[in-house]
Amino acid sequence: MKLHARDVFGEQSEQSQVPSTLEDMEKLVSECDRIVSGQDAPKDDGWPEPEPLQDALPDVAQFDLELMPASFRPLVKDVAERMQVPLDFPAVAAIATLAGVTNRRALIQPKRNDDSWIVVPNLWCGIVALPGMLKSPVIAAVTKPARAIESEWREAYAGEEQAYNVALELQEEEEKAWRAQYQTAAKKGRARPAKPVSSLVAPMPRRLLTSDATFESLHSILRENPAGLFVLRDELIGLLAGWERQGREQERAFYLECWNGDSAHTIDRIARGSVHVPHACITLLGGTQPAKLRSYLADALRDGPSNDGLIQRFQLLVWPDAPAGREYIDRKPDADALDYAERVYRRIAAMDAANPMRLQFDNPAQALFEQWLPDLERRSLDGEVSPSMQAHLAKYRSLMPSLALLFALADGHRDCVPLSQARLACDWCDYLETHARRVYASQVRPERQGAIALSKRLAKGWKREEGVFTVRDVYRNGWHMLDSPDAARGALLVLTEYGWVREEAGSDKSPGRPSETYRINPRVGRKHAGE
């Protein structure tokens, strides 16, 4: 953009346009900067003020440590303080681990008389946060006791397998000797010796968790572990997006059936035969980034085969605000808090999955549930709530009793679920609902995402000197969400609507020659970057 003195001082004589003092020179430089940055553009230039593209996310409830069962408060407090992360991170990781350790070892009947509705307290959980906010280290710290149990079970199985193999060799030698004796007796017409009776039973590997497995191997593990599995994933959306690929439809369907923890699943293969799991049950925990979540939601929540309620199954999905600042904390982990949590996990993991514990609410807790459930169903059918949010709230009818059961087990209740734990579960549902609203409000169409990305570049000065650019200028840079002609055009349509650019008259739209030209609103400046 070329500047003339008359652009700054108006129609004046050539002599008056020349700055004669240092003060005049500073004024000229300042005015030039203001024009280049788009500030104080003439009011009658025909350009509107660019509208902001960034949408503010809804507020979420701040996590209160009192939401945790008493047995886990010290652990959550210690991890959050040492790592300088929101309390939400270790809280969700702790509840997810509690659910993963429990799975089908305990069940709850939410209604007093209707014994056909049984809830398994397995949960799907996720943490949404920007890179560098220590999602993975937090998950690793909180799940350490569960991973210790898994390691011990592996070692125990290795010893059992070794002993079994030794016994099996001895049995094979006995059978060889019996065959020889049998053949000799048969040839000589003597009485045949009885075949040795074998009491050997191959040991079954006990499993608690896994991080990376094909769905066929998960299916086999579940057949051998009726309590279910705790699946940890470092990048959650990567797993979900992978299910969208051609050829992985069965994997998606398998996980969907594992969500309620009570569905049977059978895989029939020529080589492997028929593998039947009477109760497929998985608890899932992972982290992801806001940008990846937005991109996934843009596709997953459109009408189509992918909009099957998968994301709504993540009942414990939190997206807390980033902390304003971090202190430098250097202290040892609270060993007592970790030991206490580990004792809870071990106590529950030792429960018999073949005969799961079955609990109900006590009378006051039952009365609370009978008030809470109709209110939830009314709100989930509210016409003013988006369809995605309606589907999400509908899943809370199993979330509340699941949480109540888990909290009761954590604090040592084995006969029934008391009112205090039921209230805590209701409070969690209120807290999680605010995070769910933030998640669904973040859904952005791809063309709008591209427009936001391009608007930031324009605000920071891209093509400002020229004042114009073509569609090709945009997509040939290979920028994310702007790396194709269609993506660039979609973003520019949005930017045109919001007053950032204007298509030049006479732009060439011939096939094969994407040379459409757009002019930048001169009012665009760094103040519009939305950062």
Distances in whole angstroms, Cα of residue 18 to Cα of each of 9, 135, 438: 10, 60, 56
**Residue found by looking up tokens 């002599």 in the block:** 15
Q: What is the pLDDT of residue 1?
A: 42
Distance CA 300, CA 244 (A): 9
What residue numbers bound the domain in which 484 lies?
A: 5-11+23-55+447-528
Asked if 219 and 210 touch (Cβ cutoff 8 Å), the reply is no
The answer to whether residues 517 and 412 belong to one domain is no
The answer to whether residues 253 and 290 belong to one domain is yes
For the chain, what is the radius of gyration of the CA atoms? 32
The answer to whether residues 388 and 493 belong to one domain is no
What are 162-171's pLDDT values in tens digits?
A: 999 999 899 8
Q: What is the pLDDT of residue 530?
A: 53
The answer to whether residues 145 and 226 belong to one domain is yes
What are 101-150's pLDDT values in tens digits?
A: 999 999 999 999 999 999 999 999 999 999 989 999 999 999 999 999 99
The answer to whether residues 300 and 409 belong to one domain is yes
Asked if 280 and 264 touch (Cβ cutoff 8 Å), the reply is yes
> Residue 143, Cβ neighbours under 10 Å: how many?
22
Distance CA 266, CA 292 (A): 33
Q: Assess if residue 392 is contained within a domain.
A: yes
Residue at 462: amino acid letter: W
Alpha-carbon dihedral angle through residues 3, 7, 8, 9, given to the nearest 10 degrees: 140
> Residue 395, Cβ neighbours under 10 Å: how many?
18
**Close Cβ partners of 238 (under 8 Å, ≥ 6 residues apart):** 288, 292
Alpha-carbon dihedral angle through residues 300, 302, 307, 312, given to the nearest 10 degrees: 70
Which CATH number characterizes residue 397's domain?
Answer: 3.40.50
**Close Cβ partners of 501 (under 8 Å, ≥ 6 residues apart):** 458, 492, 495, 518, 519, 520, 521
Distance CA 68, CA 284 (A): 20
The answer to whether residues 370 and 502 belong to one domain is no
The answer to whether residues 41 and 147 belong to one domain is no
**Residue found by looking up tokens 């001082």 in the block:** 9
Phi and psi of 316, rounded to 5°? Answer: -105, 75
Q: What is the pLDDT of residue 10?
A: 45
The answer to whether residues 381 and 485 belong to one domain is no
Closest CA to 259 of 402, 439, 377: 402
Distances in whole angstroms, Cα of residue 10 to Cα of each of 24, 41, 309, 426: 15, 13, 62, 67
Q: What is the pLDDT of residue 21?
A: 61
The answer to whether residues 299 and 212 belong to one domain is yes
Q: Assess if residue 160 is contained within a domain.
A: no
Q: What is the pLDDT of residue 368?
A: 98
What are 503-514's pLDDT values in tens digits?
A: 987 655 555 554
Closest CA to 134 of 237, 67, 234, 240: 234
**Close Cβ partners of 123 (under 8 Å, ≥ 6 residues apart):** 95, 96, 99, 283, 284, 315, 316, 399, 402
Domain count, the chain: 2
Q: What is the pLDDT of residue 8?
A: 42
Residue at 239: amino acid letter: L
CB-neighbour burial class of residue 122 (10 A; exposed 0-12, middle 13-18, buried 19+): buried
Q: Assess if residue 386 is contained within a domain.
A: yes
Rounded mean pLDDT for each run of 10 residues along the chain, 531 residues in total: 43 46 59 52 69 81 95 96 96 98 97 96 96 93 96 94 90 89 88 85 91 86 94 89 79 90 81 82 95 81 64 94 88 95 96 94 98 93 82 95 98 95 97 94 80 91 92 92 91 93 71 74 73 48
**Close Cβ partners of 476 (under 8 Å, ≥ 6 residues apart):** none
Q: What is the pLDDT of residue 462?
A: 93
The answer to whether residues 275 and 328 belong to one domain is yes
